[in-house]
């Protein structure tokens, strides 16, 4: 299965996906897309000989319709948002029904929505005194963090002393759960049954 990964920054989830690809060759990252001209995640892509694309309205960026044409040529079957911080235009989301997924660093439907990304999420979780947090992989729909939930993993944060400590614990499970879900897509084991997202064994 050919996939495209959207990134905005560091790219540790992209690296986890590439590591998993090398381990089991069930899927292949064919494109890495960013809302930036350059970012550390692009360096990971270049190191692994994966084509990169900068998308957006500005000069030097390609538009979303051109990106869709590139995806057609590359036969992209799944789009993975791994730390991509911009909202994707409705027309692009509508082109790929149930083919775009996102990882969020908290247990949705709590601690999601506009402005809830990266350390902001962990600060909100820390300030709430929640005793568990975790990672969520969900389908992307037309608003931030509201699509159907595919998989979640929890971490115990009852003893943490800072948002950064939560971030570290959650990132560890992100690196497991995202490759796990992509592999399930490659095996055709992610389904919508009775309006719910289901992962088959």
DSSP 75: T
Which residues in the 70-109 window bind ligand GAR by CB under 6 A? Answer: 82-83, 103-105
Nearest residue (CB) to ligand GAR, 1 versus 124: 124
CA angle at residue 120 from 197 to 157, to 5 degrees? 70
CB atoms within 10 A of CB 157: 20
Q: Please state, in angstroms and rounded to a whole number, the distance separating the CA atoms of residues 172 and 148.
A: 23
Query: Least distance to ligand GAR from the beta carbon of 69, Å?
Result: 26
Using alpha carbons, select from 65, 66, 74, 58 the residue that is nearest to residue 5. 74
Per-residue binding string, ligand GAR, 23-52, x by CB under 6 A, is: ------------------x-----------
Per-residue binding string, ligand GAR, 128-167, x by CB under 6 A, is: ----------------------------------------
Contact between 192 and 148 under an 8 Å Cβ cutoff? The reply is yes
Q: Which residues bind ligand GAR (CB under 6 A)?
A: 7, 9-13, 41, 82-83, 103-105, 117-118, 121, 171, 174
């Amino acid at each position: 299965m050919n996939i495209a990964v959207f990134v905005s920054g560091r790219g540790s989830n992209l690296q986890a996906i590439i590591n998993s690809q090398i381990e089991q060759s069930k899927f292949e990252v064919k494109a890495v897309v960013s809302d930036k001209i350059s970012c550390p995640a692009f360096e990971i892509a270049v190191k692994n000989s994966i084509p990169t694309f900068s998308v957006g309205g500005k000069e030097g960026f390609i538009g979303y319709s051109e990106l869709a044409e590139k995806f057609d040529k590359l036969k992209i079957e799944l789009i993975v948002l791994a730390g991509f911080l911009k909202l994707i235009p409705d027309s692009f989301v509508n082109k790929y029904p149930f083919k775009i997924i996102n990882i969020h660093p908290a247990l949705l439907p709590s601690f999601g929505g506009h402005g809830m990304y990266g350390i902001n999420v962990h600060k909100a979780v820390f300030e709430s005194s929640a005793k568990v947090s975790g990672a969520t992989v969900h389908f992307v729909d037309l608003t931030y963090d509201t699509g159907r939930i595919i998989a979640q993993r929890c971490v115990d944060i009852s003893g943490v002393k800072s948002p950064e400590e939560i971030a570290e614990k959650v990132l560890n499970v992100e690196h497991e759960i995202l490759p796990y879900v992509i592999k399930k897509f490659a095996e055709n084991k992610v389904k919508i049954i009775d309006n719910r997202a289901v992962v088959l064994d």
